Structure 1
Amino acid sequence: MCDITDSEGSLAATLSHDELLEITQSSISTLLTCDPLLSDLPPDITLEEVLSQIAVEHGQAITIFINREDEPVLKVVVPQSATVSDLKKAIARHFEIYQKRIKNKVKISWKYIWKTYDLNYEGLILDCDHRSIDEYGVTNKVTLTFKKRRKRKRI
């Protein structure tokens, strides 16, 4: 554990909360850019993202890439035992973080998205929310795509 010297303590007492926050964020950003293992992480990384990356490194989680037509690929981390429903929730969380980072305040109706699109992996549609993703053959570092749902004929 780090000990704070008297000079650092008195300096911290004279700075405002916003100034300390800015110094801390600047220090974290410098650490992230200088460390080769952490350089691919965003400077405003959340605790959830850090814990996800640790889980991936320990083999407890997998990374899945979500390909959207003309949009950047989303990198989503889910536990190895995740269900399709868990994956959909992780996509929604990741997309909200992505929107916040690009400062876009568009509200997404995920209910509409999941009624309109399916997740597709090598021709297989992940259509059963309670099934495990590994039942569909989804493993670490695979790419899923959004596929427009076909209208089903009613009989």
Structure 2
Amino acid sequence: MESKENGDFGTVTTIPKEKYDHFKPTTPDCIERDAPNAEYVEEKEKADDDEKKVSIEEKGGENEAEDPSEDSKTLSHPELKLFFQEALARVLQTDPLLADLHPQVTPEEVNALIELEHGRAMRVWVEREGGDESEGEKAWGLVVSREDTVHQLKQSLRHHVALVLSRQGIKKRISWKYVWKSNWLSYEGTRLTDDNAKLHQYGIRNKSTLRFVKKYRDKQKFGRRKK
């Protein structure tokens, strides 16, 4: 290493060539050595793309293979409805609280059962007129509010009978106008003649049984007019 004086720039230090080669920057060599080969990168990216493409095609083939089996397992609406009812029936049979519910239970029946369990409703029985054991239950069980009137009881009975007949597949039209024209509802010998009266006013309580009683009219006999 030598130092020379320069009039314009002062002292200038010169480095011998052999030492200059020693201090030659190596950064470009490092970068060139460590950088991945361009052809290698291109081939790797192409291989990755091919692998992804094959994977997508395989999945598509699996989905296509599964489609026929899925279609074959699709249930029609009646079959799905029957399957749901059978499953619901098994659940209801194993639950002591829900055992009285029909598999085709309605929201009104569920709400009525909840009211019954909380003591805000009561279950009353209405004996069927001319009930036959072969026809099923001899009395209809109704869940009514403790504050219901006789008229509301009659409406509940009408709705319950229609629901029972529908579940049994019986297409029968009942003229309730004729039923109430020909019969009274009776509890322990007392006829429920006032439709606006509360049920508890007749002493009706939980598990009470009501009966139909025929209405008898006094027939007036008129003699034949003589001509």
The interval holding the TM-score normalised by the smaller chain is 0.7 to 0.9
> Paired residue for 1:92, among 146, 152, 158?
158
Give the corresponding residue for 1:63: 123
Give the corresponding residue for 1:131: 197
Alpha-carbon shift at residue 14 of structure 1 (Å): 4.5
Change (3 A) 1:18 1:78: same
Percent identical among aligned pairs is: 40
Give the corresponding residue for 2:210: 144
- Greater share of helix: 2
Alpha-carbon shift at residue 36 of structure 1 (Å): 2.6
Does residue 1:37 correspond to 2:97, yes or no? yes
d(CA) in 2 for partners of 1:95, 1:69: 13
Alpha-carbon shift at residue 34 of structure 1 (Å): 2.0
The 5 A counterparts of 1:98-109 are 98-109=164-175
Give the corresponding residue for 2:144: 78
Change (3 A) 1:36 1:114: same
d(CA) in 2 for partners of 1:14, 1:42: 27
Describe the superposition over 1:6-58 as per-residue Cα deviations: whole angstroms up to 9, x where unpaired.
xxxx89x9544444333322221111122232223222222211111111111
d(CA) in 2 for partners of 1:130, 1:97: 25
Give the corresponding residue for 1:6: none
Alpha-carbon shift at residue 102 of structure 1 (Å): 1.8
Describe the superposition over 1:52-99 as per-residue Cα deviations: whole angstroms up to 9, x where unpaired.
111111111111100124311000111110001000001101111111
d(CA) in 1 for partners of 2:174, 2:214: 17
Change (3 A) 1:100 1:122: same
Give the corresponding residue for 1:49: 109
d(CA) in 1 for partners of 2:219, 2:119: 43
Q: Which amino acid in 2 is paired with 1:62?
A: M
The unaligned stretches of length 5 or more in structure 1 are 1-9
> Paired residue for 1:27, among 84, 87, 102?
87
Bigger Rg, structure 1 or 2: 2
d(CA) in 1 for partners of 2:219, 2:201: 27
Q: Which amino acid in 2 is paired with 1:47?
A: P
Q: Which amino acid in 1 is paired with 2:158?
A: A
Q: Which has the higher contact order (CA 8 A, sep 6+)?
A: 1
SS of alignment partner, residue 83 of structure 2: helix
d(CA) in 1 for partners of 2:210, 2:141: 10
The unaligned stretches of length 5 or more in structure 2 are 1-69, 132-137, 221-227
Structure 1 consecutive aligned stretches of length 4 or more whose deviation exceeds 3 Å: 13-20
SS of alignment partner, residue 131 of structure 1: coil
Q: Which amino acid in 1 is paired with 2:166?
A: K
